[in-house]
Amino acid sequence: MTRTATPRKPRARSQARIDSILDAARTLLAREGVACLSIYSVAERAQIPPSSVYHFFASVPALLEALTADVHRAFRACLQAPIDPGNLHSWRDLSRLVEQRMLSIYNGDAAARQLILAQHGLSEVVQADRQHDLELGALMQALFDQHFQLPVLPDDVDVFALAMELGDRVYARSVQLHGQITPRMAEEGMRVFDAYLGLYLPPFLARR
């Protein structure tokens, strides 16, 4: 007789432990920044032994890479959220909508600001962020192509990923100077994003 496979409880417990570790790291990151984060402080916050943290994350950079992936999941979700085509009169309307959604994530998540916009010097996190940006850029290009007839874009330049990175540089400047993304710098970041896209997209694109 064939038995139906059932989910193994240890796997569920492991995921719960990982979630607990990431929640603790996120809280500490938001409060104290990357420099003060350690495996031991995360373990204390999560109320588990440090060995349990090391079991899932061999180092602080590995833990921060996992948090970076978590932040980018939120960015992907905002690109995949429904959009009313009736509100899009030009590609710049879509551009502003996307950037406003991403700014909302930054403004509501201090850990995201610390990971992506703060100067922490962790090359592993920077590399992970850049890789995720490439994925987000491809999703964003697909989103624009869904609503507008895009021109032929270069193969050797990730236009939408670069636009996001340039906007993030402005937001990072604001975080360094003010500890947050101010309304004025948010507007500047969106202008930079639009200006770079405008090098490749004409002012008017036909709707799909």
Per residue in 23-66, pLDDT (tens digit) is: 999 999 888 888 788 999 999 999 999 999 999 999 988 898 89
Partnered with residue 148 across adjacent β-strands are 207
- Spell out the domain ranges in the chain: 1-58, 60-197
Q: CA 145, CA 143: separation in Å to the nearest integer?
A: 5
CA distance to 78, 172, 203, per residue, from 166 (Å): 19, 10, 20
| pLDDT value at residue 126 | 78
> pLDDT tens digits for 178-198?
989 999 999 999 999 999 999
Task: Read off the pLDDT band of 94 (50, 70, 90).
Answer: very high
Burial letters 147-181, b for 16+ CB under 10 A, else e: bbebeeeeeeebbbbbbbbebbebbbebbeeeebb
Residue 175 backbone phi and psi in degrees, to 5: -65, -40
Task: Report the chain's terminal Cα–Cα distance, integer Å.
Answer: 54
Task: Read off the pLDDT band of 7 (50, 70, 90).
Answer: very low
| pLDDT value at residue 11 | 73
Q: How many CB atoms lie within 10 A of CB 73?
A: 11
Q: If you write DSSP's letter for every residue of 179-195 in order, what string do you get?
A: SS--HHHHHHHHHHHHH
Partnered with residue 207 across adjacent β-strands are 148
| pLDDT value at residue 54 | 92
> pLDDT tens digits for 147-162?
999 999 999 999 999 9
The pTM of this model reads 0.83
Q: How many CB atoms lie within 10 A of CB 105?
A: 17
Q: Which CATH number fits domain 60-197: 1.10.357, 2.30.29, 1.20.58, 1.10.260?
A: 1.10.357
Task: Read off the pLDDT band of 131 (50, 70, 90).
Answer: confident
Is 1-58 CATH 1.10.10.60? yes
Determine the distance from the C-alpha atom of residue 105 to the mean position of all C-alpha atoms in its chain, rounded to a whole number: 8
